[in-house]
Structure 1
Amino acid sequence: MRALVTGGAGVVGRALCRELQERGVCVRVLTLPGDPLVQSFPRNIDVVYGDVADYASIRPAFDGVDCVFHLAAILLSRDASAFERINAGGTRNVVSACQDSGVRRLLYVSSISVTYPVLTPYGASKLAGETAVKESGLDWTIVRPTLVIGDGGGVEFRMYADFVCRFPVYPLPGGGRSLKRPVRSVDLVKGIAAACLTPEAIGNTYALAGPEVMTMAEMAARILRTAGKRHLMFPLPWWVAKRLAVLRNWIGGRRVSAEQALAGFLYDAVPCIENAEKDLGYHPKNAL
């Protein structure tokens, strides 16, 4: 079997490539031209270049593959239109490339943020991608990861860890009471691989999270304990956080809108993983 992994040079993408190879799958990676991270790939991984926002540039990569793992996306941008162009439009291009090349099997990595009661531009773009996948007529499966930890850590977790470690006294909107189920990257990629390689997963959507529920404040305390720091948290009232929009500067700088920075603190992300456990043999361990 030969699989194409879009966005394969990212943190999760590289881990997924290793997981697929361990399962005996031949891997082809689609990434942006000039991506320096491809130098870390072993020689037996086929690397092709293209931009999912440009259909013509990615179409040849789909020839001769049996399944596609679509991970390519942007998480952070001050340009709201970039989410639509790359995440939503890029997914529609991947769907079209599968259809035109005769690839039937498509695994789409979405985000748990599509379940938030109010969507950020990022969440809306991922939900639009889900719609394109579901309406494709392909043999699709969708997975929705939560906060990714380990193997370098996902972008959101690294930003949060840097934030709480940077300031001796750090503010958390709402006192950090929102609930999360962070997932280890090693468990996430096992779930992603199984979701695409298991026939019973076709036509299903799975949440991929860790087993433990914790608040953002509890997560910060564990991060600091691991780092050997004794910083103090003070709760920041929601109206202050929203009015001043300071969280954007403290955590993400110019890469993150205030709306997106606050969403992770405002909404719970504690999905049920029973279906993934039953269908995929998904049994994650505690992330922290």
Structure 2
Amino acid sequence: MIAITGITGHSGRYFYQELIKHKYKEKICFLVRESSDTTFIANQSNFHIIKVDLNQDDSLTMALSNIDTIIHIAGIQYSLNIVKAAIINKCKRLIVVHTTGSYSKYKEAASEYIKIDQELARYQTQIKITVLRPTMIYGDLCDHNMSKFIKMIDQLKLYPNIAGGHCLIQPVHAADLGLAYYQVLTNSNTEGKEYILSGEKPIELIKCLKIIKTQLNSHNLFIHVPLWLAIFSAKCLKFISLGKIDIIEKVQRMGEDRSYDHQAATRDFGFQPRCFEQGIYNEIIQYKEMKK
């Protein structure tokens, strides 16, 4: 039996679509929050829903009894709870969706992720753990990345382009992640390995913004803001707000490349992400429909 967390989330729903598309027959237990909307999950004999708090060790351990494989999408903050419960139940395989944020040179963005990764690695001798690391996830207005850029470009006549927008990013579409999760699940060659799941190719942030601008048919103007000035402004904002608004590291990362190679994923299970121009199109259509 398989247990899946995070099926009601952004990439999780695309994973669910892949399970349906491929008519996956093995028994699946979906672990969801009490408040989660599960109406989209079909009433199939091999599907079972358990409402559980991933922070509650006892109930989580009970929920994972008789489970052979776990796909954990719900969040890196729960990974250690998941692996401990998995080992207690003698699960054979664990697939966790973590982040490339651990590669950042900035402490706040990386330190917590690195600590969890290091703790998780200690359990590799007790259970086969596959770690998946998506880059910036986009594809629908529910994302926390490109949806913000779309809204800002649409609403701001003068758009502050920090550091010229020359940092490299490699956004990955949530639908491509959903397929990747399925490919990893059904490919035993991926056991105990680590994969980066990034977009088709590196792209400068400014190019992404211009693609969004063109597809929105927006007439705003990009205003170059030096990185040092943007950081200074963020520090001033933090001071004025008495620490309530702290975006210093977010601004600093605007000058940091966040592109990562996914060749291992392509080699081992055929990962073929779409190009950004294609991927952002439907998200912008959603935005236009929402405004009507």
TM over 0.5: yes
> What secondary structure is seen at the aligned counterpart in 2 of 1:68?
strand
- Which of residues 70, 73, 85 in structure 1 aligns to 2:72? 70
> What secondary structure is seen at the aligned counterpart in 2 of 1:155?
coil
Q: Residues 133-172 of structure 1: matches in 2 within 5 Å?
A: 133-136=120-123, 137-152=126-141, 154-172=143-161
Aligned to 2:117: 130
Aligned to 2:167: 178
Aligned to 2:60: 58
Aligned to 2:281: none
Instruction: Describe the shift of the 1:93–1:277 C-alpha distance in structure 2 as closer, same or farther (beyond 3 A).
Output: same
> Structure 1-normalised TM-score?
0.83
State percent identity of aligned pairs: 19
Instruction: Describe the shift of the 1:206–1:67 C-alpha distance in structure 2 as closer, same or farther (beyond 3 A).
Output: same
How far does residue 277 in structure 1 lie from its aligned partner after superposition? 0.7
- For the residues of structure 2 that align with 1:181 and 1:256, how far apart are their CA atoms? 27
Instruction: Describe the shift of the 1:259–1:64 C-alpha distance in structure 2 as closer, same or farther (beyond 3 A).
Output: farther
> Structure 2-normalised TM-score?
0.82
Count of aligned pairs: 267
Moved more, 7-16 or 146-155: 146-155
Aligned to 2:287: none
RMSD: 2.5
Matched to 1:194, the amino acid is Q
- For the residues of structure 1 that align with 2:245 and 2:7, how far apart are their CA atoms? 23
Instruction: Describe the shift of the 1:281–1:255 C-alpha distance in structure 2 as closer, same or farther (beyond 3 A).
Output: farther
How far does residue 32 in structure 1 lie from its aligned partner after superposition? 1.9
Matched to 1:193, the amino acid is Y
Q: Deviations over 1:4-25 (max 9, x none)?
A: 2212211111111222333314
Matched to 1:127, the amino acid is I
> What secondary structure is seen at the aligned counterpart in 2 of 1:170?
strand
8 Å Cα contact 2:137/2:173 also seen in 1:
yes
> What secondary structure is seen at the aligned counterpart in 2 of 1:245?
helix
Q: Does 1:39 align with 2:47?
A: no
Matched to 1:134, the amino acid is A
8 Å Cα contact 1:247/1:262 also seen in 2:
no
Q: Deviations over 1:128-173 (max 9, x none)?
A: 3322332212111111111122244532222232222221111122
8 Å Cα contact 1:31/1:47 also seen in 2:
yes
- For the residues of structure 1 that align with 2:171 and 2:237, how far apart are their CA atoms? 22
Matched to 2:4, the amino acid is V
Q: Does 1:100 align with 2:88?
A: yes
Moved more, 99-108 or 59-68: 59-68
8 Å Cα contact 1:95/1:132 also seen in 2:
no
- For the residues of structure 2 that align with 1:158 and 1:256, how far apart are their CA atoms? 21
8 Å Cα contact 1:9/1:38 also seen in 2:
yes
How far does residue 207 in structure 1 lie from its aligned partner after superposition? 0.7
- Which of residues 195, 203, 208 in structure 1 aligns to 2:184? 195
How far does residue 264 in structure 1 lie from its aligned partner after superposition? 4.3
- The runs of 5 or more residues in structure 2 that have no matched partner are 278-292
8 Å Cα contact 1:32/1:50 also seen in 2:
yes
8 Å Cα contact 1:113/1:119 also seen in 2:
no
- For the residues of structure 2 that align with 1:26 and 1:129, how far apart are their CA atoms? 29
8 Å Cα contact 1:175/1:235 also seen in 2:
yes
Aligned to 1:228: 217
Moved more, 271-280 or 2-11: 2-11
- For the residues of structure 1 that align with 2:138 and 2:106, how far apart are their CA atoms? 24
Matched to 1:103, the amino acid is C
Q: Does 1:116 align with 2:118?
A: no
- The runs of 5 or more residues in structure 1 that have no matched partner are 74-86
Instruction: Describe the shift of the 1:263–1:98 C-alpha distance in structure 2 as closer, same or farther (beyond 3 A).
Output: farther
8 Å Cα contact 1:62/1:101 also seen in 2:
yes
8 Å Cα contact 2:14/2:177 also seen in 1:
no
How far does residue 246 in structure 1 lie from its aligned partner after superposition? 8.3
Q: Does 1:219 align with 2:221?
A: no
Q: Residues 247-258 of structure 1: matches in 2 within 5 Å?
A: 257-258=246-247
- For the residues of structure 1 that align with 2:245 and 2:57, how far apart are their CA atoms? 27
Aligned to 2:194: 205
Matched to 1:22, the amino acid is K
> What secondary structure is seen at the aligned counterpart in 1 of 2:53?
coil
Give the structure with higher Rg (CA).
2
> What secondary structure is seen at the aligned counterpart in 2 of 1:219?
helix
Instruction: Describe the shift of the 1:3–1:224 C-alpha distance in structure 2 as closer, same or farther (beyond 3 A).
Output: farther
